[in-house]
């Protein structure tokens, strides 16, 4: 019998634990989770804040499923405070305990990057990182008068939280230090469409730097280098960083991205030590470079791969494309592969196309606009990336992701036999139109 210790009970940690117990039910598998939440879904926080989902639903499975049905020794409210060769020291509700391991998995995720500004600790200033944050935000809204909301940060979480409050009729100001929202994830043509819609519903303030947050007993306003904004509540959405401190204690190699270096088996540089999820870096499927792209689907698969290899079932994690989607009210936005900016940075000679199409034929009711941008390698005609904004983007992004995994050229994309019927798509699907405009 082997002893497996997993640090972190999120998506990657519980996937790894479940996989080990599936393959080696007689092994001792312990999971230590610092919060009382397990198998949780931080991506759902904005929707709990908006009031369209109850907080408890942020756990995909309750703890009892893992303990009783899968036989996992799950410890909640258990913070790992020291990691050594063959042991961990854990602070639990009944004191500190030491546990031995034969295999160790770091699945302890990432933490918010908190800006170093005055007033960050005032009541009414919140992060949006873990399910307890959603609970705290909802409780604050219910107990206090909240009309003016300031979101600091215009990435995925910032945009989603802006919708969450605007949908409740709040006066929302979103402050982004860069020239546009989601600038690191999308090219300008795509974010221009998103911003046009955002400006109808929130006060969008780009190229502003937050200097301080003011208030006496609670937050009252946010001051930037361009003005000040009344705030009954402030949400920090300024990015995250991988939790690598414990890994450093036993000499695990930290990769060039700042996350834990792993190979295709999710092994770290230390024997019998693995890493998975938001704490681990991997490789980009197109460029082959090391990347840190902390997204839930990849985290779940990393955990599955780590657990499989620990239990003796050889399987490799191929890497990621960075496929992602989100929305702001009726405007959806998504991407897979490389943006034009990323491709140029990697040294590709590219050509691009940006098209506007509709999701159905003009004669069928419900047709809505969709914009697509494609990026292609000029030398090989290989598709490098697709971005979309508008309506019904998910099937196009997911199809493009499969095409990128298979190494499609624009000709391959054009001749892909996609389904057609007026209630679902035009006869020339927007993705096929994009390939035609990109040429082959």
List residues with catalytic annotation: 43
Element (H, E) at 191: helix 188-201
Alpha-carbon distance of 440 to 426, in angstroms, equals 22
Give bridge partners of residue 358 from the DSSP assignment: 369
Helix (H, G, I), strand (E, B), or coil: what is residue 106? strand
Report how far apart, in Å, the C-alpha atoms of 120 and of each of 42, 49, 115, 158, 231 are. Answer: 22, 20, 8, 17, 13
Is residue 203 within 8 A of residue 180, CB to CB? The reply is: no
E strands along 85-216, which residues? 87-92, 95-100, 103-106, 110-112, 125-127, 148-152, 171-176, 203-206, 210-214
**342: which 2 tokens?**
């990323």
Alpha-carbon distance of 149 to 224, in angstroms, equals 15
Q: Name the residue among 250, 243, 292, 295 with its Cα closest to residue 268.
A: 250
Give bridge partners of residue 99 from the DSSP assignment: 88
Q: What angle do CA 217, 222, 226 make, to 5 degrees?
A: 155
Alpha-carbon distance of 127 to 106, in angstroms, equals 23
Q: What is the largest CA-CA distance in the chain?
A: 69
**162: which 2 tokens?**
């802006």
Helix (H, G, I), strand (E, B), or coil: what is residue 233? strand
Is residue 413 within 8 A of residue 439, CB to CB? The reply is: no
**174: which 2 tokens?**
């979103």
Residue with tokens 């704490």: 279
Residue 249: φ, ψ to 5°: -60, -30
Is residue 37 within 8 A of residue 64, CB to CB? The reply is: no
Q: Name the residue among 187, 127, 137, 186 with its Cα closest to residue 157.
A: 127
Alpha-carbon distance of 114 to 79, in angstroms, equals 21
């Amino acid at each position: 019998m082997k002893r497996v210790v997993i640090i972190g009970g999120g998506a990657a940690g519980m996937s790894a634990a479940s996989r080990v117990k599936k393959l080696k039910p007689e092994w001792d598998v312990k999971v230590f989770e610092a919060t009382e939440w397990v198998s949780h879904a931080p991506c759902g926080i904005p929707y709990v804040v908006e009031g369209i989902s109850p907080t408890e639903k942020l756990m995909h499975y309750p703890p009892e499923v893992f303990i009783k049905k899968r036989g996992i020794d799950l410890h909640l409210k258990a913070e790992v405070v020291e990691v050594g060769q063959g042991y961990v020291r854990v602070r639990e509700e009944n004191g500190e305990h030491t546990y031995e391991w034969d295999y160790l998995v770091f699945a302890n995720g990432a933490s918010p990057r908190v800006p170093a500004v005055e007033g960050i600790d005032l009541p009414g200033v919140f992060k949006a990182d873990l399910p307890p944050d959603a609970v705290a935000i909802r409780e604050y809204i219910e107990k206090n008068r909240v009309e003016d909301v300031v979101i600091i940060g215009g990435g995925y979480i910032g945009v989603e939280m802006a919708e969450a409050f605007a949908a409740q009729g709040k006066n929302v100001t979103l402050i982004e230090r860069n020239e546009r929202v989601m600038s690191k994830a999308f090219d300008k043509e795509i974010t221009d469409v998103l911003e046009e819609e955002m400006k109808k519903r929130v006060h969008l303030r780009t190229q502003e730097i937050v200097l301080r947050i003011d208030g006496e007993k609670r937050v009252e306003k946010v001051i930037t280098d361009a003005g000040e904004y009344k705030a009954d509540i402030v949400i920090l959405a300024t990015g995250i960083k991988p939790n690598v401190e414990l890994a450093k204690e036993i000499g695990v190699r930290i990769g060039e991205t700042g996350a834990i270096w792993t190979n295709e088996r999710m092994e770290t540089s230390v024997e019998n030590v693995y890493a998975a999820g938001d704490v681990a870096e991997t490789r980009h499927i197109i460029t082959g470079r090391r990347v840190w792209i902390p997204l839930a689907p990849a985290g779940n698969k990393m955990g599955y791969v780590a657990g499989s290899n620990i239990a003796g079932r050889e399987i490799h994690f191929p890497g990621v494309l960075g496929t992602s989607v989100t929305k702001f009210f009726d405007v959806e936005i998504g991407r897979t592969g490389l943006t034009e900016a990323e491709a140029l940075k990697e040294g590709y000679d590219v050509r691009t196309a940006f098209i506007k199409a509709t999701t159905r034929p003009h004669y069928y009711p419900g047709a809505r606009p969709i914009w697509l941008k494609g990026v292609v390698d000029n030398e090989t005609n290989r598709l490098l990336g697709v971005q979309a904004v508008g309506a019904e983007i998910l099937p196009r992004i997911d199809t493009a992701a499969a095409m990128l995994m298979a190494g499609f050229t624009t000709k391959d994309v054009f001749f892909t036999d996609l389904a057609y019927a007026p209630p679902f798509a035009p006869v020339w699907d927007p993705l096929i139109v994009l390939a035609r405009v990109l040429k082959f």
